[in-house]
Amino acid sequence: MAQQAYVTEKDEGGSGDERPGSRLRRLAARLTGPWRGDPRIWRRGLVLAAVAGVLALVMLVHSRIPNRIGNLGSLTETFLPWCGLLVPVLLGLALLRRSATALIAVVLPAVVWLNLFGGLLTDKTAGGGDLTVATHNVNADNPDPSGTARAVAASGADVVALEELKASAVPTYTQALASAYRYHSVQGTVGLWSKYPLGDVRAVDIKLGWTRAMRATVTTPAGPVAVYVAHLPSVRVKIEAGFTARQRDKSADALGEAIAHETLTRVILLGDLNGTMNDRSLNAVTSQMRSTQGAAGNGFGFSWPASFPMARIDQIMVKGIEPESSWTLPETGSDHLPVAARVSVTTS
* Distance of alpha carbon 107 from the chain centroid: 24
pLDDT of amino acid 347 = 61
Residue 167, domain extent = 131-344
Same domain? 163 vs 27: no
- 340: CATH: 3.60.10.10
Shared domain for 145 and 215, answered yes or no, is: yes
175 and 265 in one domain? yes
| DSSP line for 136-152 | EE--TT-S-HHHHHHHH
Give the sign of the dihedral formed by CA 163, CA 347, CA 312, CA 252.
positive
85 plus 203 within the same structural domain: no
As a whole number of angstroms, the longest Cα–Cα distance in the chain is 99
My answer on whether 221 and 270 are in the same domain is yes
User: Is 11 inside a domain boundary?
Assistant: no
Spatial distance between the Cα atoms of 179 and 161, rounded to a whole number of angstroms: 16
Quote the pLDDT of residue 6: 43
Last residue of a domain, one of 121, 147, 162: 121
95-128 burial, b at 16+ Cβ within 10 Å, e below that, comes to eebbbbbbbebbebbbebbeebbeebeeebbeee
Q: Is residue 44 part of a domain?
A: yes
Residue 317 confidence (pLDDT): 98
211 by DSSP, 3-state: which?
Answer: coil
Do 206 and 278 belong to one domain? yes
The answer to whether residues 296 and 327 belong to one domain is: yes
Beta bridge partners of 343: 131, 323
Confirm whether 284 is domain-assigned: yes
End position of a domain, from candidates 68, 87, 121: 121
Q: What is the pTM assigned to this prediction? A: 0.85
Q: How far apart are CA 345 and CA 348, in angstroms?
A: 6
Q: Is residue 4 part of a domain?
A: no
Question: Among 201, 165, 181, 188, which Cα is nearest to 133's?
Answer: 181
3-state secondary structure 5-58: HHHHHHHHHCCCCCCHHHHHHHHHHHHHCCCCCCHHHHCCCHHHHHHHHHHHHH
Within this chain, do residues 184 and 315 fall inside the same structural domain, yes or no? Answer: yes
The answer as to whether 7 is a domain residue is no
Do 342 and 131 form a contact (C-beta atoms < 8 A)? yes
pLDDT, position 14: 47
149 and 244, same domain (yes or no): yes
- The tens place of each residue's pLDDT in the chain, 348 residues long, gives 444 444 444 444 444 555 666 776 665 555 555 666 677 888 889 999 999 999 999 999 999 999 887 788 888 999 999 999 999 999 999 999 889 999 999 999 999 999 999 999 999 998 889 999 999 999 999 999 999 999 999 999 999 999 999 999 999 999 999 999 999 999 999 999 999 999 999 999 999 999 999 999 999 999 999 999 999 998 876 544 455 678 999 999 999 999 999 999 999 999 999 999 999 999 999 999 999 999 999 999 999 999 999 999 999 999 999 999 999 999 999 999 999 999 999 864
Residues 198 and 312 in one domain: yes
Q: Is residue 239 part of a domain?
A: yes
Instruction: Say if residue 113 is in the same domain as residue 166.
Output: no
Number of domains in the chain: 2
pLDDT of residue 307: 96
Domain boundary among 71, 99, 121: 121
The strand ranges marked E within the chain are 131-137, 159-163, 183-187, 190-194, 198-203, 213-220, 223-231, 236-238, 242-244, 267-272, 290-291, 314-319, 322-328, 339-344
| 159 and 108 within one domain | no
* Residue 72 domain-assigned (yes or no): yes
